[in-house]
Structures are given as C-alpha cells and as structure tokens.
Chain A
Amino acid sequence: MHAVSQDMSVRTGRIARAFIYLALLIFALFYLLPLLVMLVNSVKPLTEITGGNMISLPEVWTIEPWLSAWSTAQIGVEPTGLRPYFLNSVLMVVPAVAISTALGALNGYVLTKWRFRGDNILFGLMLFSCFIPFQIVLIPMARILGITGLAGSTAGLVLVHVVYGLGFTTLFFRNYYAVFPDELVRAAMIDGAGFLRIFWRIMLPVSGPIIVVSVIWQFTNIWNDFLFGASFADLDSMPMTVALNNLVNSSTGVKEYNVHFAGAILAAFPTLVVYVVAGRYFVRGLMAGSVKG
C-alpha cells in the first residue's frame, strides 16, 4: 500500500517537473526573442529589412552595420560612430562605481560596527534616497553642478551617480555587515588594530560577495542611465546611451535599422558581460545580507 502511493507521488512529481521545465523553456525563448531579432537584423543589409523581412535569417551576411555603428555612423552632426561615447561611458562608470562602492562599504562598516546616537535615523534617511525619483533631483543637481563648475563634464556625471548610488551601496553593505559578529571587531581592537586597519584587514577581505552585488548594481544602473547623461553631459562627455539615442533619432537620410540594432547591442554589451562574469555571485551576495539586518 505504502509502496504504491510512493510510486504514484514519484510519477506525478515527474509530470509536474516536465511541465515546469516546459514553461521555463517557453519563457526563456520569449525573453530571448527581442535579442534574437536584434542580432539577426544587425547582420543584414538594410535592403532586406526594408523589404519587410525582419524575422527571417539574412540572405547575405554582413558585419558592415556593426563597423558603421562603432566608428562611422552619424551621431548628431559628427560621423564618429559610437566609439568615443563608449569611451565616455567607461570613463564615467568606472570611477563612479568604484567610489560609490568604497563609500558604501565604509558607511556600512560605520553604521554596524561603530554605532553612534542616531545612526539608525541616518541610515533611514540614506535609505530614503533610494526612493527619490531621478526627475526630482534634476534641477537642484544642475544648480550644484553649476556652482561647483562640474557641469557638462565627466567628473560632474561621476559626482551625480556617486551621490545617487550611495543609498543603495550603503544599504547593501550595512545589511551584509550587520550579521558579521561584533566580537571580531572587538578582538581586533584588543589586538591593537585601528578603525581603518580593522576595515581593511578584517572586514573587506570577507566582503567579496557584497562587493560584487554593489558593482553589478551600480554598473548596470550607471551604464544604462539616460536621464542624467542627457541632462548634464556636454557633447564631449556624452555617455553611450545618449549617443545611441542620437544615432537612432537622426532625422537626416534613411533610417539604418541594421546600424541601430548593432548600436543598441553594443550599448548593452558591457552590462551583459558583467552579469555573465559575476552573476552567480550576485544572487549569493543578495541572499547573504538578507537573513538578518
């Protein structure tokens, strides 16, 4: 009797499992479809696309749209391709991610291991900054950039993104360090290590997962940001996203859809790489701080 019922449960389990996998497969395909369309059309001559065949594979394969998008396409008035703006984005993203992550780690360390009166209120206020929509800060931020003389420069964009990202990075590190035993800090104090030495030698070496989380989060947000880039950048500090928009929205001549597709993939490429390389740490790190805190 017992064996039979167990057998039944195994069989229904298998059917349910097959169903789940089927559903997952369908969803995965559904999500991949846009990327597939973009890829296929980015290696097609324009005539095939305008001929009305967006879904089918190209009859003639070409990488011309990619080369054009990268180095010769018309961005605004300059035929430079996306290359200089890609570089702008890198110059903006790398320091912004590094600085906001470093400051977030320091904030988290202080908020959990060097508690002071009102620290939770301060943390709450910093958390609040996560919920402020970008649009609200545009005008005050423009004012500050004007006063500091950073308007229209890459440094200005770095400042904007560091300030905006600080709430998130602080939240990540604060929750991660909250479950880190206080005794370790006390032991290090007795051993004679100071504030920065404890941070550098004890806390940071075990912060790998949460650093990955912070870097991925900041990298994707800052790289994909359009609003701040469009609002505060000059022509020579314009990030990739804004340049892509200018490429696609150029109103002169024919719409080169294949070039647009190639450009869009180029713009999305770095974040994809970051996810593929560090993605599995991302989930692990997000879970790590979430148990307590």
Chain B
Amino acid sequence: MGFIEIRNVSKSFGQVEVLHNISISVERDEFLVLVGPSGCGKSTLLNMIAGLEGITSGEILIRDRVVNGVHPSKRNIAMVFQNYALYPNMTAGQNITFGLEMHGVAKPVRDRSLSAVAKLLQIDHLLDRKPVQLSGGQRQRVAMGRALVRNPDVFLFDEPLSNLDAKLRVDMRKEIKKLHDKLKSTVVYVTHDQIEAMTLSTRIAVMNHGHIQQLGTPQEIYNTPANVFVGTFMGSPAMNVLPVRVVMHDGVPHACITDSEDLQQYFRFSQDNLADWDGREVFLGIRPEAITDLDGADRNSRNLARLRNRIGVTEPAGSDTFVTMTLGGRDATARMRADVTVVSGDVFEFAVNMEKAVAFDPATEERIKP
C-alpha cells in the first residue's frame, strides 16, 4: 500500500469530465512529478490531493486514511504555489509560522521551528521583511519555508519555479533536489516543464487530456515512451516520429524510410516482433541524439545504421549543434557534437542508433512493445 493512494479518481466540472479514472500509488519518500501540457488536469489532481477541490468519484488515501472530504488543514500536507501566495501583510517570519499559530503551537516552539527552517533555507536575514521587499527567489524560499516548518507528511508543489527567471529556476531546481535528498520527504510536484520533471523526479506521471499517459521512472519515460504523445512531450528537442514501412528481410524487420533525395533507405529494427507489420506503415520514434555524426555515435551500440542525407537548417546551441533535415517526408532533428562542421544544403553522413529507436502503431499511436 502506497503512502498516497489515488484510486479510480475522476473529476467533473458540471458536465465536463477533466480527470478520467486516475490511479496512482505514491511510495513513502518518493518524488512524483505530474507533467503535461496546460489543461491536462495535473493541477486539478494536485488540488484534490490537497483538499482544495472536491473528488467527483474514487478515493484518495494519505497514510492509509481516506481523506475525501477531510479539510486541507487536517491532511497534514503543505503546499507551495506558483505565485508563492505569501500573505502580503505579514513579514516573512510571520508567513512561515502562520500555519503553526493556526494549529495552536506555542510561541517558543514556533520560534525554534522558524529559526531551524530559516537556517536550512538560508533566509535568516530576511525574516523581518514583507513579501514586497523580497526578490522572486527569496519569496520562493519563504514559501518553501512555510511548507517545511509544518513538517508535513506530504509536500505538494504547484509549478513552484515557473515564475522565476531561467537561471534562478535552474538554481532552485537543484536546491529542491538537495532538500529532498536531505529531508527524505514525500513530494508530489506539478510542472509543465519536462526538464524539471526529468531532473527532480523519482517517478513521472505524464498526463494529457485528463488521462495518465505513462507512469514510470524518468529513464523509462525517456527511453521507452508509451505512446507518441509521451515521446514528443518529454525531451527537448522532441523525439522524431517518422512514418516508415516495415520490410522483412531474411526474417529480420527493417524500416524502409524515404530520405531527402526521395531514395529508400533501410534500417534494421532492434526489436524482432514486427513480422505482423510486414509491408505496413509504423511510426519510427527516434530521439535527436540517436541521429548524429559518425564519430559522435555510440560505439557500444549493436545496431548503428548509416544515413546519407541533405542538411536543412543548422542551429548551433554551443554545446551541440542541431540539424534539421527531411526524413520520411517530415522534418527530423539530429544532434551533432559542436565541433562538427555542418553546412546547410550539404549532403552529410549520419549515424542512426537504431538500438534507441522505438516503433509506434500509427492507428493508436501506442508503442509496439518488443
């Protein structure tokens, strides 16, 4: 039994069902990230765990206790909001201890908890300031302090970093990760940023249209996406999803793909259960880093294919150079080492690591499992 059990939970607003029969079991000390595009229902699900939204059907348990209808303050949870939601009329210190005060904790105990949390988050010197006198990053820390001081069973984060600028976001991300490693707490974290999801989580639930698309470790999600949506949503640049025809050759399935010169190229599939698909179309899912220059290719791969193709656009990003080309009639992105000379319009020899490729059923867009 998980620390948080979400069982067959649905949510409707009037006639519109926004969450469909969601079940997730979150283990103790786990860092679960709910990720998905806006409107996928991830924040609604978080609010339901917090008790800020009612549950239409199903049940949610925290520490073996059904919390449907239990008031947010009695669930022993703490929440960090996207806009920090600091009380503007109180100082940082009062903001942090407000919850303890409401729960009737005595002043000396409150002060002790406050100083411990302030030290942990390095905000000792800010405690007498009002929120308007704090920078974005400092407000973020105070908001985290308000959550930490309660010593709750569960931390809920609702896009806590999306109001910060890019550099600060990366710093705070690391900070949150460090805190989780140190405090070993159970976290449910909502974000639309797939990099945050990958870096922070122990497990990810990818959501879309009120359904869980895939629930798994970051590696599972990244390497073996359950469907086209997960493959393209997770990872930047997105996974290439290219229409190919399956051709059996000596009993081994090959992907027949049209290159930029309208010639047929054959790549051997690493999975061998595609005989049923002989002569039919599938989607080949391949990440940009699996298409690269010959020297940059993974030497341990047992299935490297070569591809001569014309370079479309080049985008030097400093650490890598991204190359866009036409493959299978669509735009495909390749990721090259930065010191490789690539010139737009030239024909270039790429290495395609088919070991990393996945195949999707074009009708259902589900992955064809090996």
The chain A residues found within 8 Å of chain B, CB to CB, are 181, 183-184, 186-193, 197, 201-202, 205-206
The answer to whether B73 touches A206, judged by C-beta atoms less than 8 angstroms apart, is no
Cβ–Cβ < 8 Å partners of B82 in chain A: 183
Q: Please tell me if B296 contacts chain A, counting CB pairs below 8 Å.
A: no
B99 contacts the other chain (CB 8 A): yes
- Cross-chain contact A184 with B102 (CB below 8 angstroms): no
* CB–CB A186/B52 < 8 A: yes
In angstroms, Cα B79 to Cα A190, docked, is 8
The residue of chain A having its C-beta at the shortest distance from the C-beta of B74 within the complex is A192
Tell me the count of chain B residues lying within 8 A, CB to CB, of chain A.
Answer: 21
Interface pair A193/B102, CB less than 8 Å apart = yes
Residues of B within 8 A of A202 (CB): 87, 89
Q: B85 and A184: CB pair below 8 A?
A: yes
Q: How far is it, in angstroms, between the C-alpha of A205 and the C-alpha of B94 when the chains are bound?
A: 14
Whole-angstrom CA separation of A187 from B52 in the bound complex? 10
Asked if B72 contacts A190 (CB within 8 A), the reply is yes
The interface of chain B, by Cβ under 8 A from chain A, is 50-52, 71-73, 77-79, 81-83, 85, 87-89, 98-99, 102-103, 146
Most buried by B among A181, A190, A206: A190
Q: What is the distance, in angstroms, from B368's C-beta to the closest C-beta of chain A?
A: 43
**CB-CB nearest 9 A-B residue pairs:** A191-B99, A192-B73, A192-B102, A205-B89, A183-B85, A187-B85, A183-B81, A190-B72, A189-B72
Cross-chain pairs A/B with CB under 8 angstroms, 19 sampled: A183-B81, A183-B82, A184-B87, A184-B88, A186-B52, A186-B81, A187-B79, A187-B81, A187-B85, A189-B52, A189-B73, A190-B50, A190-B73, A190-B77, A190-B78, A192-B103, A193-B102, A202-B87, A202-B89
- Cβ-neighbour of B83 out of A181, A191, A193, A197 (below 8 A): A181
Contact A188 B87 (CB under 8 A): yes
Closest B residue, CB atoms, query A184: B85
Whole-angstrom distance between the Cβ of B165 and the nearest chain A Cβ? 20
Q: In the complex, what distance in Å separates the CA atom of A205 from the CA atom of B91?
A: 13
Cβ of B75 to closest chain A Cβ, rounded Å:
8
Known: A191-B102, A192-B102, A192-B103. A186 touches B88 (CB 8 A): no
- Asked if A197 meets B102 with Cβ closer than 8 Å, knowing A190-B50, A202-B87, the reply is yes
- Most chain-A CB neighbours within 10 Å: which of B50, B73, B77? B73
In the assembled complex, the Cα of A187 lies from the Cα of B150 at a distance in Å of: 13
Q: Within the assembled complex, what's the spacing in Å between the Cα atoms of A191 and B88?
A: 15
Q: Please report the C-alpha to C-alpha distance between residue A188 and residue B85 in the assembled complex, in whole angstroms.
A: 9
Contact of B99 among A181, A183, A186, A190 (CB under 8 A): A190
B99 in contact with A192 (CB, 8 Å):
yes
Given the complex, which residues of A lie within 8 Å of B81, measured CB to CB?
183, 186-187
The minimal Cβ–Cβ distance linking A108 to chain B, given in whole angstroms, is 17
Asked if A206 contacts B89 (CB within 8 A), the reply is yes
Give complex CA distance A202, B83 in Å.
16
Give every chain B residue within 8 A of A191 (Cβ-Cβ): 73, 98-99, 102, 146
What is the bound-complex CA distance between A193 and B71, given in angstroms? 11
Q: Find the B residue at minimum CB distance from A208.
A: B89
Measured between beta carbons, the chain A residues less than 8 angstroms from B83 are 181, 183
Taking the nearest CB of chain A, how far is it from the CB of B204, in angstroms?
25
Pick from B72, B78, B82, B146 the residue with the most CB of A within 10 Å.
B72
Residues of B within 8 A of A193 (CB): 73, 98, 102
Report how far A192 CA is from B103 CA in the complex, Å: 6
Known: A183-B83, A186-B72, A191-B73. 10 other contacts (CB 8 A): A181-B83, A184-B85, A186-B52, A189-B52, A189-B71, A190-B51, A190-B99, A192-B73, A192-B102, A193-B102
| CB-defined contacts of A186 to chain B, threshold 8 Å | 50, 52, 72, 79, 81, 85
Report the minimum CB–CB distance from B166 to chain A (whole Å).
23
